[in-house]
Structure 1
Amino acid sequence: YMVPGPLEKDQEGIFLVTPVERWAPRKVKEEKLRGHNYAKIPVTAVHEAYPGHHLQLVYANTHAKTLPRKIGSALSSLFVEGWAFYCEELMEELGYIREPVQKLARLQDQLWRAARIILDVSLHTGKMTVEEGIQFLIERAGLERANAEAEVRRYTSNPTQPMSYLVGKIEILKVIEDYKRRNPMITLRELHEAILSCGSLPPRLLRERLLGT
């Protein structure tokens, strides 16, 4: 997903669907498509578009009052990815992700995000080699080798970003729990508007903004 610039008049994002490389061996093509199957389409759409990245980042662009909060997507992967990951489970609870196979796909993605925390730390502290990381994703998270290789290559170039999905979601859920405790009559829409209106803040600063703690 490519977010529109914070000062663009038309806040239209771009949802990119990457095709399988035509020159790739047949086995690699099949593995990549198996890992990005039809059951995962609604999960991916929720995460990348609405109410995930597109809603959150456009809301930050149009409602946040300061430029740092508008461009926080470059500063706080914890909140941006945590929010999109939070939305996946939320939309299952609200009935959008409803088919058993779709729910299973969401749970597999949740397992994969948990595995990222272990890999992120292990790869960048020298506790795990690239090949060990690939095998870990295959054996523990159920990824196909072609997809596991692509994932680990990305992790090696962007330390701490892979863990931001689940860690960010957990931190956002903590803020939500405390905010609802303080405002027991708040609706889900009001809760989300309060969070999104803060812009792309790291969860610690989000907590300070909403709760003053």
Structure 2
Amino acid sequence: MNYHLGKWTPQQCIDFLVDRVGFERANAEAEVRRSFTGGYGPLYQIGYMLGGLQFRALHNELVQSGKMTNIEFHNRILYENNMPVEMVRALLTNQRLPENFSTRWKFAGDIN
């Protein structure tokens, strides 16, 4: 977002990914190049961040609480494949969903 707000250069973004996030330099360069020359808008990366926050919350709910091990959690995530995190949560917690199910996932600060 700092790039899109005009605060950082692409090189500063690469350095941040390497120094603060732990990317290897070549991967950071490829990610920055893809993000800035691929025609993606600034909200594209936010989608990944929201998914990451959802998986972190699910990890806390299931692994930190002792209901699953890290290996069980990661294996189930990979096994279930590509679907909304709330659906993965329903599978991992054996939640029965009604036919007319609608999402109820909440983020910090959501009301209702």
**How high is the TM-score relative to the length of structure 2?**
0.47
Structure with more of its chain in helix, by fraction? 1
- Greater RCO, CA 8 A, separation 6+: 1
**How high is the TM-score relative to the length of structure 1?**
0.29
